[in-house]
């Protein structure tokens, strides 16, 4: 025998599942193209001029390597570098974007703001 509580629980489960799927569907990242004055999403006909970019800070790991160069006044020299880890390196991502670059964009704030996450290359 079904109790009213089971029916209520079933109804709530159905409604919550529907809202959850709608919320997750709205969070999908999409592709866009950088323009001379902003960002053009593949799924949106207008150019977006007020967009954000991700701030990437990384730890850079360099292997041991050597460089050859010339010394002022003549001659050449080889400099050997040891392997190193450099913490808190900032990538100036936004400054490196060029018109025509394909980018992955995450809409946020119910689609009122857009964050460029990365450049996409083939």
State the pLDDT at residue 122.
Answer: 86
State the pLDDT at residue 103.
Answer: 97
State the pLDDT at residue 89.
Answer: 93
Q: What is the dihedral of CA 57, 58, 59, 62, to 10 degrees?
A: -120
Ramachandran region of residue 78, left (φ > 0), alpha (ψ -120 to 50) or beta?
beta
**Confidence class for position 1, pLDDT limits 50, 70, 90:** very low
Indicate whether this model's pTM tops 0.85. no
Which residues form the domain of 108? 4-119
- Tens digit of each residue's pLDDT (9 = 90 or more) over 62-115: 999 999 999 888 889 999 999 999 999 998 889 999 999 999 999 998 888 999
State the pLDDT at residue 79.
Answer: 93
CA-closest candidate to residue 59, choices 91, 94, 92, 98: 91
State the pLDDT at residue 74.
Answer: 84
Distance of CA 66 to the CA centre of its chain: 33
Quote the CA–CA distance of 78 and 55 in Å, as a whole number. 36
Total number of domains in the chain = 1
CA-closest candidate to residue 93, choices 122, 116, 59, 121: 116
State the pLDDT at residue 18.
Answer: 55
- Tens digit of each residue's pLDDT (9 = 90 or more) over 11-54: 666 666 654 444 445 568 999 999 999 999 998 889 999 999 99
Kind plus residue range of the DSSP H or E element containing 4:
helix 4-25
State the pLDDT at residue 4.
Answer: 61
């Amino acid at each position: 025998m079904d109790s009213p509580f089971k029916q209520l629980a079933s109804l709530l489960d159905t409604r919550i599942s529907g809202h959850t799927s709608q919320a997750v569907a709205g969070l999908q990242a999409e592709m866009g193209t950088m323009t001379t004055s902003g960002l053009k999403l593949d799924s949106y006909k207008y150019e977006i001029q007020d967009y954000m970019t991700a701030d990437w800070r990384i730890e850079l790991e360099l292997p041991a390597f050597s460089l050859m160069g010339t010394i002022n006044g003549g001659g050449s020299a080889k400099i050997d570098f040891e392997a190193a880890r450099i913490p808190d390196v900032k990538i100036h991502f936004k400054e490196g974007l060029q018109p025509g670059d394909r980018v992955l964009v995450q809409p946020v704030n119910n689609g009122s703001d857009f964050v460029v996450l990365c450049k996409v290359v083939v």
